[in-house]
Amino acid sequence: MGFADQRFTVNLSILFTELPLLERPAAAATAGFTAVELWWPWPGSPTPEPSELDALKAAIEAADVRLAALNLYAGRLPGPDRGALSLPGEESARFRANIDVAVGFAGSLGCTALNALYGNRVDGADPDEQDALALENLVLAARAADRIGAVLLVETLNERESPDYPLVSAAAGAAVVDKVNAATGLGNTRFLMDLYHLAVNGEDLPEVIAAHAGRTGHVQIADSPGRGAPGTGTLPLEELLDRLTEAGYEGRVGLEYKPGDRPSAQTFDWLPAAARGVR
């Protein structure tokens, strides 16, 4: 086994960002990829103009790449925000307004994974009330995702970079997944296992894989330290992905690393060409 045996997708919100958004799908295709993923591309607008949605859809279709995963509205990414669905008031309402827009866009492109970032703790807000609001909004999102045959992903971040984000362990993320599935009865809410964030948190990654591979709906990778391409840090990513395969994970692996000071297209020398072209 190894990297050549995985199904990779490239995240166009952290790679190829030296290009305008509408040029990135074609750049990914030129680099050999047949699948891409995105954070919500309009951080200031949960409900962009239909013309903006249509233009991005056309760019993805013209590049002949598949949209494999899409974040729901999460505020300013990159930036200080870490999601919106647990935030009282306007931001939570913006998340709810985004659900049908994002699900409709994803469904029009055959996308089957939607990522919902939980959101930071807010000074002066009761954490229990934030968690109740989060569960309510995640249930709405899971039911909407089910209408297009998609899974809803819940992601764990790392405490060093996201000190106000409450889901900073695999166990915490998995617990939310289980609560949403219990509330909906749909079973379509899954864990997004980001090996970079878990490594920064100091978790035992083989133990995380053994415990949570069965509830994992998507995997993302970057090396640590530095959040660069595989081989720029110390994580044994090839070995870890082999462990995931052995544990039964058959989904895609998203490349969510920073290209550094090189053009994005030059950062894939570690990846066999055959692993980029799996639909």
Region 166-174 average pLDDT: 98
Closest CA to 225 of 247, 257, 248: 257
Which amino acid is located at 87 in the chain?
A: L
Region 241-245 average pLDDT: 97
Return the number of other C-beta atoms located less than 10 Å from residue 123's C-beta.
6
pLDDT given for residue 278 in this prediction: 52
Residue 137 is encoded by which pair of tokens?
């909004």
Which amino acid is located at 30 in the chain?
A: T
Round to whole Å and give the CA distance between 191 and 174. Answer: 6
Kindly report, residue by residue over 100-150, the tens digit of the pLDDT: 999 999 999 999 999 999 999 999 999 999 999 999 999 999 999 999 999
pLDDT given for residue 61 in this prediction: 98
Residue 38 above 50 pLDDT? yes
pLDDT given for residue 75 in this prediction: 93
CATH class, domain 3-271, is alpha beta
Indicate the domain borders of the chain.
Answer: 3-271
Q: How much of the chain, in percent, has pLDDT values that exceed 70?
A: 99
DSSP H helix total and E strand total for the chain: 8, 8
pLDDT given for residue 274 in this prediction: 76
| Residues 6+ positions from 51 with CB-CB distance below 8 Å | none
Residue position matching structure tokens 């985004």 = 98
Round to whole Å and give the CA distance between 102 and 201. Answer: 30
Residue 279 above 50 pLDDT? no
Kindly report, residue by residue over 250-265, the tens digit of the pLDDT: 999 999 999 999 999 9
pLDDT given for residue 234 in this prediction: 98
- In which band, very low, low, confident or very high, does the pLDDT at 78 lie, cut at 50, 70 and 90? confident
Question: Do 6 and 275 touch, CB atoms closer than 8 A?
Answer: yes
Question: Do 87 and 55 touch, CB atoms closer than 8 A?
Answer: no
- In which band, very low, low, confident or very high, does the pLDDT at 4 lie, cut at 50, 70 and 90? confident
Q: Which entry of 37, 91, 155, 203 is annotated as an active-site residue?
A: 155
Kindly report, residue by residue over 180-237, the tens digit of the pLDDT: 999 999 999 999 999 999 999 999 999 999 999 999 999 999 999 999 999 999 999 9
207 a catalytic residue:
no
Closest CA to 172 of 221, 218, 134: 134
pLDDT given for residue 111 in this prediction: 98
246 a catalytic residue:
no
Residue 89 above 90 pLDDT? yes
